[in-house]
């Protein structure tokens, strides 16, 4: 499908997304306290090749050049996160004003160049001081998070209008508190269910705090959301397994926010979350967001797995299915974003949807100071075309943000998978705009051939 920027309408938000720990570096500079990712990445065998985000893209020092590159690419909206431990080194209490100054400089420079800042309040980097008290598994996190949100509004809220409360709560609770493959590396059902409930509470509470300050804030939160299908369509046990996986991965945080409660009917183990609930919690889980952020990269195929604890289901990886995939071993399947948008649109209480992340990691090569990333370019074109198709069919999708501006620290995978529109040489911090970045620039200037 050929398309232009005009096909999406004048009020469609085009942007790019990043996250603090993945790009900032300066891990202990100017009073910043350690986050759970600072601690986790120092542990042996936790991160591919022993990488860490101590320096990453050094955005802390290069922010003005990098924001100038956003401007050069004609990108009008920039989504970035605040590092909680940069502004509150102990998670609560004393404020680090050098950290506040840094984000004020980022916000002010964006506005100076006509770029709209979109803040994600929490993108996975909990202050380590709070993890020592139990982190997301401790109900006190609701109070800690509330204090942090108030702090962000006090110092940034006069200029920032667009806010996202949490980034992909299913990922940071599931990978961090159940599987142990992400920070803080905790294992087990009990820590996961506690963390999940408290994150779901914070998701709504953050929205309420923002709304109480200013009625014209645009408030949302973001979810990883994939098309989930049974491996064998005509296999009853695979179909039931796919429903369970969908309840866990797609619906666990979305439906309580929408006032529907946890999807325990389709995943019985979620009934155990009740032991972490107090009177009134069910009502407090709900908040009417202005928009929902959809973060979609792939689809999942699920089969019945009787030995898999709690869920009796497992995802069958793309390489096992011998389908085209990215460096993350995620299937390249553009209709997934269309199907996810159509599905989200069936929830009548969702006002608007924005695609807040979509992108791909491939094996980029620098040749003569150029990066011709044909696979990523094709991926973006095909996925944006699917977004347009959904929009044409009546889905209220109001924006699209590429993941990500530049190659960065990709969590447990280290620096190996590159997602950026801009190539980063991590040894020299040299930036090179890739072919995909040049194409996005043309799209946003309405200059596509």
Q: What is the pLDDT of residues 184-219, one digit of tens each?
A: 999 999 999 999 999 999 999 999 999 999 999 999
Place 89 in a pLDDT band, splitting at 50, 70 and 90.
very high
Q: Using CA atoms, how far apart are residues 224 and 357, in angstroms rounded to an integer?
A: 9
- Judge whether 398 and 353 are in contact, CB under 8 Å: yes
- Asked if residue 423 is part of any domain, the answer here is yes
Percentage of the chain lying above the pLDDT 90 cut? 98
Long-range contacts made by residues 1-9, C-beta under 8 angstroms, separation at least 24?
A: 1/385, 1/388, 1/389, 3/384, 3/385, 3/388, 4/443, 4/446, 4/448, 5/443, 5/444, 5/446, 6/446, 7/388, 8/388, 8/391, 8/400
Helices 189-213 and 141-156: angle between axes, nearest 10 degrees: 30
Task: Classify 193 as helix, strand or coil.
Answer: helix
Place 449 in a pLDDT band, splitting at 50, 70 and 90.
confident
Catalytic residue annotation: 168, 357
Q: Give the pLDDT score at 355.
A: 99
Q: Using CA atoms, how far apart are residues 164 and 122, in angstroms rounded to an integer?
A: 8
Q: Using CA atoms, how far apart are residues 194 and 91, in angstroms rounded to an integer?
A: 19
Q: Using CA atoms, how far apart are residues 87 and 338, in angstroms rounded to an integer?
A: 38
- List all residues 6 or more positions away from 346 whose beta carbon is below 8 Å from its beta carbon: none
Q: What is the mean pLDDT of residues 5-13?
A: 97
- Asked if residue 231 is part of any domain, the answer here is no
- Asked if residue 279 is part of any domain, the answer here is no
- Asked if residue 303 is part of any domain, the answer here is no
- Read off φ and ψ for residue 381, nearest 5 degrees: -60, -45
Helices (H) and strands (E) in the chain, counts: 15, 13
Q: Give the pLDDT score at 443.
A: 98
Q: What does the mean pLDDT of the chain come to? A: 98
- Asked if residue 245 is part of any domain, the answer here is no
Q: What is the mean pLDDT of residues 98-119?
A: 98
pTM, 2 dp: 0.98
- Asked if residue 165 is part of any domain, the answer here is yes
- Asked if residue 418 is part of any domain, the answer here is yes
**Position with higher pLDDT, 44 vs 76:** 76
Burial of residue 87 (number of CB atoms within 10 Å: 0-12, 13-18, 19+): buried
Stretch (H or E) spanning 80: strand 77-81
Number of domains in the chain: 1
- Other Cβ atoms closer than 10 A to 49: 8
- Asked if residue 164 is part of any domain, the answer here is yes
Give the model confidence (pLDDT) of 384-425 as tens digits: 999 999 999 999 999 999 999 999 999 999 999 999 999 999
- List all residues 6 or more positions away from 183 whose beta carbon is below 8 Å from its beta carbon: 35, 36, 37, 39, 40, 41, 124, 125, 126, 176
Residue 91 scores a pLDDT above 90: yes
Q: What is the mean pLDDT of residues 174-178?
A: 98
Q: Give the pLDDT score at 97.
A: 98
Q: Give the pLDDT score at 185.
A: 98
Place 294 in a pLDDT band, splitting at 50, 70 and 90.
very high
Q: What is the mean pLDDT of residues 92-100?
A: 98
Residue 1 scores a pLDDT above 80: no
Domain span at 28: 5-225+287-296+329-444
Q: Using CA atoms, how far apart are residues 118 and 378, in angstroms rounded to an integer?
A: 27
DSSP 247: I
CATH number at residue 291: 3.20.20.80
């Amino acid at each position: 499908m050929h398309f232009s920027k005009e096909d999406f309408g004048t009020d469609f938000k085009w942007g790019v997304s990043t996250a603090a720990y993945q790009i900032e570096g300066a891990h202990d500079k100017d009073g910043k306290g350690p986050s759970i990712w600072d601690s986790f990445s120092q542990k042996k065998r936790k991160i591919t090749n022993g990488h860490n985000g101590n320096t990453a893209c050094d955005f802390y020092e290069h922010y003005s050049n990098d924001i100038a590159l956003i401007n050069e690419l004609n990108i009008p909206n920039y989504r970035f996160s605040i590092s909680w431990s940069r502004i509150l080194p102990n998670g609560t209490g004393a404020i680090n004003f050098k950290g506040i100054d840094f984000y004020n400089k980022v916000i002010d420079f964006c506005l100076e160049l006509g770029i709209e800042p979109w803040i994600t309040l929490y993108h996975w980097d909990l202050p380590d001081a709070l993890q020592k008290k139990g982190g997301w598994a401790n109900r006190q996190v609701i109070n800690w998070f509330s204090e942090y949100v108030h702090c962000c509004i006090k110092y940034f809220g006069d200029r920032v209008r667009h806010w996202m409360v949490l980034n992909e709560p299913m990922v940071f609770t599931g990978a961090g508190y159940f599987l142990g493959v992400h920070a803080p590396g905790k294992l087990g059902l009990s820590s996961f269910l506690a963390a999940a409930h408290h994150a779901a509470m914070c998701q709504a509470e953050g929205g309420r705090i923002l709304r109480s300050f200013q009625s014209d804030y645009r408030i949302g939160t973001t979810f990883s959301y994939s098309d989930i299908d049974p491996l064998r369509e005509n296999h009853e046990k695979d179909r039931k397994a796919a429903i369970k996986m969908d309840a866990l991965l797609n619906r666990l945080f979305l439906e309580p926010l929408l006032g529907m409660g946890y999807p325990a009917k389709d995943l019985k183990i979620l009934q155990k979350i009740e032991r972490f609930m107090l009177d009134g919690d069910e009502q407090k889980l709900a908040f009417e967001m202005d928009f929902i952020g959809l973060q979609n990269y792939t689809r999942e195929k699920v089969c019945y797995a009787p030995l898999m604890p709690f869920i009796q289901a497992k995802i069958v990886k793309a390489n096992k299915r011998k389908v085209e995939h990215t460096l993350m071993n995620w299937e390249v399947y553009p209709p997934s974003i269309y199907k996810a948008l159509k599905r989200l649109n069936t929830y009548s209480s969702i006002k608007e949807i924005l695609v807040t992340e979509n992108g791909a990691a491939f094996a980029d090569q620098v040749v003569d100071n150029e990066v011709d990333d044909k696979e990523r370019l094709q991926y973006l074109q095909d996925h944006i075309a699917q977004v347009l198709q959904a929009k044409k069919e009546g889905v209220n999708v109001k924006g699209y943000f590429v993941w990500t501006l530049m190659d960065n620290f990709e969590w447990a995978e280290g620096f190996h998978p590159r997602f950026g529109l801009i190539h980063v040489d991590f040894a020299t911090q040299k930036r090179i705009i890739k072919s995909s970045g040049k194409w996005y620039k043309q799209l946003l200037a309405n200059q596509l051939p």
